Amino acid sequence: MSDTFSHVTSKSWFSRMGSAFGGIITGIILIIVASILLFWNEGRAVKRDKTLNEGIGLVLSVKPETVTPANEGKLIHISGKAIVNDTLKDDLLNISTNAVRLERKVEMLQWAEKSKSKTREKLGGGTETVTTYRYELAWSDKKVDSAKFRHPSGHENTLSFPVSSKTVTAQNVTIGAFSLNSSQIARIGSLKNQPLTNNNIVNGKFGDKHPVIINGVMYVGSQTRDKVGDVRISLQIAQPGNVSIVARQIEKSFRPYKTTVGGTISLLQNDIVPADEMFQTAVDANTTLTWVLRVAGFVMMLIGFKMTLRVLAVTASVIPILGSIVGGASTIVSFLLALIISFFIIAIAWVFYRPLVGFAILAVAILAAVALVWRGKNSAPKAQLTTD
């Protein structure tokens, strides 16, 4: 079931110019924030790299069956079977189990609004935007406020959920003689679907509505399960398994290990994993995060330059085709500026955080540039003097 509506709005050239000039300030802010992010990211990456390198040289692999007092405060590595000493309960679903984590997910059938806009420029610099709003029923675990819809009439959602989602986590988990802290427990295992049965139905929990189980999922509401306000409930459970940990030993538990460079080490992987492999995984994760933040900083800077140069495209849009040409050119210029400045900031950051490596990279870059210029001059055709 879905409904579709279209809405047309127009914007004058003067209004667009006002927005474009206002965008210059936002663009400058984005460029500044992107620059700070890029510089900070290089420092973060270097600090994390030094932290992990220090940890590799200090970590001690020990047996989890006994706690050795001599290792107090040291960086240790253990592997073993995680044992849960708690029973997790969910009275709504009449379930009691020995697990790391139990998650009840409650979803309600609600109207959802989706929109798609298409803008075209008109002669004189104005624009016309056609926005299509589509309303369809969808299951969601969050309340959708239909009062904020463009066309709320006929798409009203139920005010509140009859029951809420819930996550229960074990508090007492051990590996041999060691007890895990709450942060470590939260990372153990992975949630897997646990099919519900008629044994999970408790009469009276949903008033006069009687739940039904279909394909392991509980439905509460209309018999057709296609009306606003219908509810479906699913269950996921994370069971304990083998776990490997690298952290600082504090009595019979763990805390993050603080290195001399100020970083911390607290690693956990599900399975029996040697210490060197755990550190390599952490190194790989640091590399991935570094590149993700580099790309994010570049994209932010690109958007910033596009916003600062947008006024040129809007000015030229009095003639639509000219506005498109100038807009395309400004996009190329924005891309080149963002690329050059991003590389420059990263290079400066490397000089700041790793002077030897940073200066070496800059020296190689300068030599390469000089070599290209020298080669270009020598390969250029020489003028020849001729006499009559």
pLDDT in tens, 98-138: 999 999 999 999 999 999 988 787 777 667 788 899 999 99
Q: Is the residue at 126 inside a domain?
A: no
Residues 150 and 229 reside in one and the same domain: yes
Type of residue numbered 350: W
DSSP string for 118-163: EEEE-TTS-EEEEEEEEEEEEEESS---GGGSSS-TT-PPPSS-SS
User: Where is 60: in which H helix or E strand?
Assistant: strand 60-61
When pLDDT is averaged across residues 301-306 and rounded to a whole number, the result is 94
Residues 267 and 231 reside in one and the same domain: yes
Residues 43 and 99 reside in one and the same domain: no
Taking alpha carbons only, the member of 137, 138, 141 closest to residue 105 is 141
Residues 316 and 256 reside in one and the same domain: no
Q: Kindly list the distances between the CA atom of residue 268 and the CA atoms of 52, 258, 273, in Å, as whole numbers in the listed order.
A: 14, 16, 9
Q: Which of 112-126, 224-238, 316-330, 364-378 has the highest mean pLDDT?
A: 224-238
Which pair of structure tokens corresponds to residue 136?
């369809």
Average pLDDT of the residues of the chain: 87
Residues 292 and 240 reside in one and the same domain: no
Q: Is the residue at 385 inside a domain?
A: no
Task: Give 295's pLDDT tier (boundaries 50, 70, 90).
Answer: very high
Q: Is the residue at 256 inside a domain?
A: yes
Q: Per the structure, how many domains does the chain have?
A: 2
Whether the per-residue pLDDT at 366 is higher than 70: the answer is: no
**Cβ neighbours, 10 Å, residue 86:** 15
Tell me the residue length of the chain: 388
Helices (H), ranges, the chain: 13-58, 182-185, 275-316, 320-353, 355-379
Last residue of a domain, one of 241, 272, 303: 272
Residues 156 and 221 reside in one and the same domain: yes
Q: How many CA atoms lie within 13 A of 153 on its CB side?
A: 1
The residue segments making up the domain with residue 256 are 59-111+137-272
**Cβ neighbours, 10 Å, residue 239:** 17
Residues 313 and 264 reside in one and the same domain: no
Residues 318 and 351 reside in one and the same domain: yes
Residues 96 and 225 reside in one and the same domain: yes
Q: Is the residue at 129 inside a domain?
A: no
